[in-house]
C-alpha cells in the first residue's frame, strides 16, 4: 500500500448514528477514519498507541534486547506488545492496569490499580531485578476542564516517576504521558538531576489535535 493511500481518510460512515450522543459520534467517526487505527488492526496491534511507542523508540533507542520493562496503565496492550517484541525472549515485560487485559506472549500482567499501595512491591517481585525502562501511558478520566485534567494526569506522572526512580538501574529510561503545558517544573527539576537527558516528545502517531505529550528521561544516574 502506498504512503499516500495510507494517509488518506478511510471515510467510514457511521451506522445507527442517531442512537449515539454527539460527542460519541465524533469520537467513533475519528476512530473509524483514523489510518493508525486501521493499520493497528491490519498489523495485529492491540491499539494505535503501539505506533507512538515504536516511533519514540525508533528515534531514541531505549528498548534493548534482554531488557526489563515495566508498563504502567498497559491495557489494552499496545505498548506491551511493542516492548515485548523489542526486548525479545531474553527480556521481561511486566504490565499493570486497573482494566482487564487479554494475555500477551512475553508479558506478565497484574490486574490492579497502580495507585493501590501494594502495587509497587508486587511489580518489583514480578520484575525480579532492576528495570531498564519504565513506561507510563496512564491517563485519568477527562473532565473537559483543561486545568483540572492537567493536575490529575500530573499526579499520575509524579507517582510513575517516583516508582521509576526506585526500580531503574543506572542508564535506565522513563517515558510518561503528560499534557500540553508540559511537565511541572518541580518534577522536571528532579528528573534533570537524576537523568542525563530529559525532553518532551510528540510522535507523529499522536493526533495533532490532542493535548498529549510524552516526557522522556534517559540515562538514569541514580536517585539523588
Going along the chain from its start, the domains and CATH numbers come out as 3-33 (no CATH), 47-220 (3.40.50.150)
**What count of other Cβ atoms lies within 10 Å of the Cβ of residue 121?**
9
Residues of the chain with pLDDT under 50: 1-14, 17, 20, 22-28, 31-32
Please give the pLDDT value at position 36. 55
Selected catalytic residue, list 11, 59, 124, 177 = 177
Please give the pLDDT value at position 138. 92
Q: Which three cell numbers stand for residue 222?
A: 541514580
Cα–Cα separations (whole angstroms), residue 142 to 99, 116, 148, 155, 156 = 17, 20, 9, 14, 13
Please give the pLDDT value at position 183. 65
Cell 496512564, located at residue: 138
Active site residue 152: no
Alpha-carbon gap, residue 194 to 65, rounded angstroms: 24
Q: How many residues does the chain have?
A: 224
Amino acid at each position: 500500500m502506498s504512503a499516500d493511500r495510507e494517509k488518506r481518510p478511510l471515510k467510514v460512515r457511521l451506522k445507527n448514528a442517531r442512537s449515539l450522543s454527539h460527542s460519541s459520534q465524533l469520537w467513533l467517526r475519528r476512530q473509524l477514519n483514523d489510518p493508525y487505527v486501521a493499520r493497528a488492526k491490519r498489523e495485529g496491534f492491540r491499539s494505535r498507541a503501539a505506533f507512538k511507542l515504536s516511533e519514540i523508540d525508533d528515534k531514541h533507542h531505549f528498548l534493548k534486547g534482554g531488557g526489563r520493562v515495566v508498563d504502567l496503565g498497559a491495557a489494552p496492550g499496545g505498548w506491551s506488545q511493542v516492548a515485548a517484541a523489542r526486548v525479545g525472549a531474553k527480556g521481561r515485560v511486566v504490565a499493570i492496569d486497573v482494566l482487564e487485559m487479554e494475555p500477551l506472549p512475553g508479558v506478565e500482567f497484574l490486574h490492579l490499580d497502580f495507585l493501590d499501595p501494594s502495587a509497587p512491591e508486587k511489580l518489583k517481585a514480578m520484575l525480579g531485578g532492576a528495570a531498564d525502562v519504565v513506561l507510563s501511558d496512564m491517563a485519568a478520566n477527562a473532565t473537559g476542564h483543561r486545568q483540572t485534567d492537567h493536575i490529575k494526569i500530573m499526579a499520575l506522572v509524579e507517582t510513575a516517576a517516583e516508582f521509576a526512580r526506585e526500580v531503574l538501574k543506572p542508564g535506565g529510561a522513563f517515558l510518561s504521558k503528560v499534557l500540553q503545558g508540559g511537565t511541572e517544573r518541580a518534577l522536571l527539576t528532579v528528573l534533570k538531576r537524576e537523568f542525563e537527558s530529559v525532553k518532551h516528545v510528540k510522535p507523529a502517531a499522536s493526533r495533532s489535535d490532542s493535548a498529549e505529550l510524552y516526557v522522556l528521561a534517559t540515562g538514569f544516574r541514580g536517585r539523588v
